[in-house]
Structure 1
Amino acid sequence: MTAHKIPVSVLVVIHSANGQVLLMERADAPGFWQSVTGSQDAGETLEQTAIREVREETGLDVTHFELTPWAIENRYEIYERWRHRYAPGVTHNTEHVFGLKLPAPLPVTCAPREHLRYLWLPWEEAAERCFSPSNAAAIRLLPARL
């Protein structure tokens, strides 16, 4: 049996210096677009979680770019469709936001079990396309961080 997910996660807004944002379409929910996200593993720091999730979901090596914690924490109710991944009775998750700045949009390699495809979009369009309100809100903060 797989261990339950820890209800602490990272959201990594991957963006270019000129405000293009990487979005990926979820394999388990076609039509749901998002930034890199993932739950913390036991013993990991939040930064280690962000580095691992970016590598697993995109193939990008964070050490070549600028990873920044945005000091934003979102607490939200876990969607019913994904609650079975957590211990019984766990209904909320705390998400920590990071930004990963690339010099320009780069090709990425989607993890086939997680994402179907990816797009680079101007930040306004990326925010509109996200299914997650916290993801959209984080992307809307990008212009102040460029």
Structure 2
Amino acid sequence: MGFKRRATAHWEGDLKSGQGRMSTPQSGLFEGTRYSFGTRFGDEKGTNPEELLAAAHAGCYSMALGFILQNAGFTATRIDTQAEVAMETSPGPHAVGVHLTVTATVPGIDAAAFADIAANAKDNCVISKALALPVTLDAKLV
């Protein structure tokens, strides 16, 4: 059984003076959340695509780690993950990588087993895999 998740984005104007809104209609978590050049490349209040990618990756990784630990017979009492998306601006803005930092409390596991399971979760979390997937597009001019 498959499923789909959806988000929307609306943009008006040019890159530097324009602005947009993002929404997540299925969950209702975001409804018209502001994004702009200033929120993406500066410190203005709002969100940006890279921050949302980092949040998605941190959440996905934490869940994957918990699942793989469970399958190995362990239960984490705490998993805290930070995902940092590294960006370069030349020759144009592009992501160059994601660094995951995780701290976890897992009773009964040794450091070597935890390191192996943590690496497995990094390789197999849905977002880690998605970053290497092809992207398709339907474009229509109205």
Q: TM-score, normalization: structure 2?
A: 0.27
- Comparing both chains, which one has the higher relative contact order based on Cα–Cα distances under 8 Å and sequence gaps of 6 or more? 1
Q: State which structure, 1 or 2, has the greater radius of gyration over its C-alpha atoms.
A: 2
The structure whose residues are more often helix, as a share, is 2
The structure whose residues are more often strand, as a share, is 1
